[in-house]
Structure 1
Amino acid sequence: MTAPERTAETRRLVRKLISFRNVMRDDGVSTIDYVEQLTFLLFLKMAHERENRSLNPERILPDSPAWRNRGWQELVNSDGDDLENAYHNLLEELGSLPGNLGVIFRKAKNKIQDPAKLKRLIQDYIGKENWSLQGVDVNGDAYEALLEAGAEDTKTGAGQYFTPRALIDAMVDCIQPTADDTITDPSVGTGGFLLAAHAYIQKQAETTPLTPEQRAHIQRGGIWGNELVDGTARLAAMNLVLHGICKHSGPQLITVGDSLAQPPTKRASVVLANPPFGRKSSITVFGDDGKTTNREEISYIRQDFWVTTTNKQLNFVQHIASLLEIHGRAAVVVPDNVLFESGAGETIRRRLLQQFDLHTMLRLPTGIFYAGGVKANVLFFDKKPARPNQPWTEKLWVYDFRTGQRFTLKQNPLARAHLDDFLECYKPGKDRADRVETERFKPFTLDELLARDKVNLDITWMGDPKLDDSDMLAPPEVIATEIVEDLQAAMAEFAAIAESLGEVKKQAPPPE
C-alpha cells in the first residue's frame, strides 16, 4: 500500500470509528473510554485474523485447550446479556494472565453498558474490516486521528499521548538505532518511538538481514519501555505484540509504573523520549545534593540524581542521564523551561555539558503538539566515560526550526519533509566536524555556553519575519496558552531566585 493509499485508508477507518464514537458519547462514554474499548476489541479481532490467515498463521491468545474457543469468535456468537457477560469475563481473565497480554488487559473493564451497541460495534464497525490487511498502524495513525477528533475531551486526557509522527521519524533517523542496541522510552505512551526504532531496524535489515541472535535480542528485551498510565500502557503493549516486537507469552516489554520512583535496574544504549509536559509534580525527588522540603507529602530518594526539584521535566532529564549506558545516545523532547530555569535547571545543564556530549538541539515550532502553545526542543546527547577535569561537550549545534514557522494540527500539519533540512544539517552517521553553519544551524562553543547567564540554553539569533495578511496567526486560545506558560516560567524564575536568596541567608554569618 502506497503512502497516499495508506493515508486515504486511515481516514476512511477513522471516519467510520468516529461516527460510532459520537453514538457512544451520547451514552456518556468519553473518547478515552471509547478508544480503550477499541483497543480491546481490535486486538481480539486482529488476533483472530492472524490465527486464521492462510499464510503463516500465528496464535496470539494463550495456546491451550481452555482458550481454543475463546476470543473474538466468542463475542461474535453472543448477543444481549450473554454478550455482555462473555466480554466481561474475557477481559477479566485476560487481565489476570502474566506477560504482555496481562499488560494489555490490565484492569480492563467494559465501559459499553448497552449490549445492543456493543454488538453493533463488534459486528458492523470492527467485524466487517480485515484490520491486519489494511497496512495501517491502527494504534498510531488511526488512534492519533481519533484522539485529535476528540480533542474536546482534553480534560479527561484525550490528545496528550502522541508525539507527531514526523518528529518521531526524524529523531530516529538522527539516532540510527541498530539491532544490537538496547532501546527504551521511559515515558512510552502508545509506543511511537519504539515502533519507529523497530521499523528503522527492519528497513536496514532489507540489505543486511538480522541474525537469529539479533532477532532474539529484540524480543527478549532489546526494545522496552515504561508508562505511568494503565490505559496508555496497554496501547503500547498491543502495538509491540501486533508488530511482532514481542510475543504475548514472552518477556514483558512494557512495564507500568512511575519511571522516576527508583533508579533504573538496567541501562540502555538508546533512549528516545517525549516525557509528559507539565511543570510541577506532586512528588519531590531528592537528589544527592541533600536538599529537602516539607511542602510535599510524598518524596522519592534518587541518589543517582544530581539535584532535588519538583519539576518533572528536569527529573526526567536526570533519569534519562542515569538510564543511559556508557557511549549511549539519547534524543529527548523537553519544554523551554528546561533550557533556562535557574536553580536545579542550571545545575542539570552544567552537569550535562560536563559529563555528556550535548551536541545538538532542535528548537521546535509551536502548533505541532495537541496541547496548544507548547514551546519545546529536542536535545541530542551522548553519555561518555567519567572525565572529571575535562568536559565532554565541546560544541552545541542549535537548529532554529521555530523562527518564522507556523504549524497547525489540521490546516498546516508538520510533515516529515519539513525536517529534511535539519537532517541534512545534522548529518546522521557522519563526523560532526563535517557540519556546516547555515542561517538556521549555528554552533556554540562550551566557553560561550558557560558564559551565558545561568548557562541559559534558550538561544535565539534569528528575527521573526514581519507578518502580513496571508500569514497564519495562532488561534486566540493558543496565544492565551503561550501567555500563561510565559507567566508560569517567570514565576518559576522568581521562585528560584527567592530560594537562592534563602540559601544565602542561611549560610551568612550572624551579625556581630
Structure 2
Amino acid sequence: MTASTLVPKLWNYCNILRDDGLSYGDYVEQLTYLLFLKMADEQSRPPFKKPSPIPKGFGWDVLITLDGDDLETHYRHTLEELGKRPGMLGVIFRKAQNKIQDPAKLRRLIVDLIDKEVWSSLEADVKGDAYEGLLQKNAEDVKGGAGQYFTPRALIAAIVEVMAPSPDITICDPACGTGGFLLAAHDYIVKHHELDKSQKKKLKNGTLFGVELVDSVTRLCAMNLLLHGVGSESDADMPVVSKDALAGKHGEYEMVLANPPFGKKSSVTIVNEAGEQQKESLIINRDDFWASTSNKQLNFLQHIFTILKQHGHAAVVLPDNVLFEGGAGETIRRELLKQGDVHTLLRLPTGIFYAQGVKANVLFFDRKPAQEKPWTKKLWIYDLRTNQHFTLKENTLKRSDLDEFVKCYNPKNRHNRKESERFKSFTYEELIKRDKINLDIFWLKDDALEDSANLPDPDIIAQEITDDLEAALEQFATIAEDLKQSKE
C-alpha cells in the first residue's frame, strides 16, 4: 500500500458521505477519530503490546461489534468521554461530535475502510503522506475555508532547507495549522542526520512544539504529527497545544518557523446599550513587546522574537503591510533591526496561497544579546514576485521555482553572498533612513507594463487583479475602522 493508492481510497468514502451533507473538513475530522481509535487498539496488541490510553469499554474492540442505533449512540458517548481526558486524547477528541448521521454509513467507514488496514505497520511516510494528501484536498475546498491553515508545501520545503534544522535544537511553530512546518523540519532532520537512539527519542517527543488557536485544526495537526511518528497515542506531554499563542510566552526555542494567520486586526464584537453590534479592537499589551497594537501579524512578529532563545533563528511568512505600516509597525521594525540580525527577505509571488488577495514575504532573522550597536548590518532581498505568475491549479508553485533563491541564500555560509538580478542587499543605514523604515523594497521592472504582446494568460491577470483589489480593500477596511475608533 502506498500513499498514492491510499488517498483515492480514503477520498472515495468521503464522496459517499458527502451525499449526506458532510463537508470535506467534517470527513477528515471523523476519519481522525476513527484512525486514532484503531491505531490505539493495534498498539495494545502484539507485537507492540503497549498499554492503551483508551478507557475500557470505549475502544475499537467494542465499536467494531456494533451497528444501527447502538453504534451511533456508543460512538457519540465515546467521543464525549475521550474529549474529557488529558494529553493526546483530549487534544484529538476535544469538543468532538459525530457528524455521520446514518449508522449504516458509519459502520461502512469503520468495517470496510479503517478496520481493513493495519495502520501501525504502515510506514510513517505512507500513512502520513496519505493524511497530508487529505489535508491538501481539504484546503482546496474553497467553501470550507481550511486553506488559511495550509502553507504551500513547496515554500515550506525551501524555507526549511535554508534554515537547516539539526537534531540537537528545539523548534516551535506558534501558529502551526495542520503542522506543515513542523513535519518538514522533522523530515529534514531525519534525511540529513544519522540519528542515535537518544536523538530519535528526542525527535519523537522533545524537538517539535506547536501552538494552534482553533481546536478543530489542532486535532488535525496532532493526528498529522502522530501519523508521521511524532508524539504517541498515550502522550501526556503534547507536541501541539490548543491555545492563543499571543496571550503570553510558552517557552523559548532555538528555531521558530511560522506562517501566522493573515486577516483583519484582532477585534471582539460587543452589543452597546442601543442593541447595536460594535467591533472593538483587541490591543495586545505585553511587557515583553516593543509596541501595543491590534495588528495580529505585528503581534506575532513580536511574539516570535520573545520566544526565540539568544542566537536563535526565525523564518516567518508575513503580509506586505508588516513591512510598511506606520505607528507601531515602524517602532517594531526599528527594534527588530536593532535587537536582531534581520538578514534576508523573500518577496513571494501572488497566487500561491488559498487565502485570496494575499501579498506576502518571508522574513529571516536571528535574535541576539543586548548591545548598543544595531545587530542588522545588511538585509538581502530576493524578489520572487515581479514578473512571476502562479495560480493554485494551472500553474502551481513548485519546489524547483525556489531553487535560485535557495542557491542565493547560501545556507552553508550566508555571509558569503553574491548579488544577482533578483537578489540585492541594503545596509542598515539605508534601511533606517527610509520613510517609516519601509522594508517593502523592489527594483525590477514589471515586464507586463512594457510588453503587452507577452502578457500572462487572462485567468492569471484576472486573479492578480482580484488579489490586488482584495488586498487594497482589506487595507481600506482597516483604515476606516481606525478612523471610526479615533472619533469615538
TM above 0.5, yes or no, is yes
C-alpha displacement at 1:298, in angstroms? 5.5
Q: Structure 1 residues 221 and 40, CA, compared in 2 at 3 Å: closer, same or farther?
A: same
Q: Give the match for residue 423 of structure 1.
A: 406
What is residue 53 of structure 2 aligned with on the other side?
62
Partner of 1:78: 66
Structure 2 residue 464 is matched with structure 1 residue 483: no
Once the 2 structures are TM-superposed, how far is the Cα of residue 420 of structure 1 from its aligned partner?
1.2
Separation (CA, whole Å) in 2 of partners of 1:99 and 1:249? 6
Root-mean-square deviation (Å): 2.9
Corresponding residue for 1:319?
Answer: 303
Q: 2:89 is aligned with what amino acid?
A: L
Q: State how far apart, in whole Å, the 2-side matches of 1:495 and 1:250 are.
A: 43
Whether the aligned pair in 2 keeps the contact of 1:283 and 1:310 (CA below 8 Å) is no
Residues 470, 477 of structure 1: alpha-carbon distance in 2 compared, 3 angstrom cutoff = closer
In structure 1, the gaps of 5 or more residues are 285-293, 504-512
Q: How is 1:289-300 mapped onto 2 (pairs within 5 angstroms)?
A: 296=280, 300=284
Answer yes or no: is 1:35 the counterpart of 2:28. yes
Q: In the aligned structure 2, how far is the partner of 1:106 from the partner of 1:168?
A: 28
TM value normalised by structure 2: 0.88
Give the drift of 1:216: 4.5
- The yes-or-no answer on 1:349 pairing with 2:333 is yes
The answer (yes or no) to whether the contact 2:255–2:314 under 8 Å persists in 1 is yes
Q: In 2, distance between residues paired with 1:130 and 1:337?
A: 49
Instruction: Identify which range, 163-172 or 126-135, moves more after superposition.
Output: 126-135
Q: CA separation in 1, counterparts of 2:435 and 2:196?
A: 49
Letter in 1 for 2:193: A
How far is 1:24 from its partner?
A: 2.8
TM-score for both structures, normalised by structure 1: 0.84
Matched letter for residue 97 of structure 1: R
> Is this contact kept in 2: 1:362–1:399, CA < 8 A?
yes
Gaps of 5+ in 2: 270-277
Conserved in 1, the CA contact under 8 Å of 2:212 and 2:242?
A: yes
Paired position in structure 2 for 1:142: 133
AA of the residue aligned to 1:167: L
Question: What letter corresponds to residue 328 of structure 1 in structure 2?
Answer: G
* Counterpart for residue 393 of structure 2: 410
Cross-structure match for 1:273: 258
Task: Spell out the pairing of 1:149-298 with structure 2 (5 A cutoff).
Answer: 149-151=140-142, 153-154=143-144, 157-206=145-194, 209-210=195-196, 212=198, 214-247=199-232, 248-261=234-247, 263-282=248-267, 296=280
Distance 1:332 1:60, change over 3 A: farther
Residues 60/390 of structure 1: CA separation in 2 closer, same or farther (3 Å cut): farther
1:305, distance to aligned residue in structure 2 (A): 1.0
Distance 1:88 1:372 in 2: 37
Match of 1:91 in 2: 79
Change (3 A) 1:80 1:94: same
Q: Following TM superposition, by how much is the alpha carbon of 1:20 offset from its aligned partner in structure 2, in angstroms?
A: 3.4
Q: 1:367 to 1:53 in 2, by over 3 A?
A: farther
Kindly state the Cα deviation for residue 401 of structure 1 after the two structures are TM-superposed.
0.8
**2-side partners of 1:453 and 1:348: how far apart?**
14
1:103 aligns with 2:91: yes
Contact map agreement 2:267 2:279 (CA 8 A) in 1: no
Question: Across the two proteins, how many residue pairs are aligned to each other?
Answer: 471
Distance 1:58 1:344 in 2: 56
Q: Residue deviations 1:353-383, cap 9 Å, x none?
A: 1110000011111111111331111000000
Are residues 383 and 415 of structure 1, via their aligned partners in 2, closer, same or farther at CA, if it must alter by over 3 Å? same
2:379 maps to which of 396, 419, 425: 396
Q: Once the 2 structures are TM-superposed, how far is the Cα of residue 183 of structure 1 from its aligned partner? A: 0.8
What SS does structure 2 have at the residue aligned with 1:160? helix
Distance 1:149 1:239, change over 3 A: closer
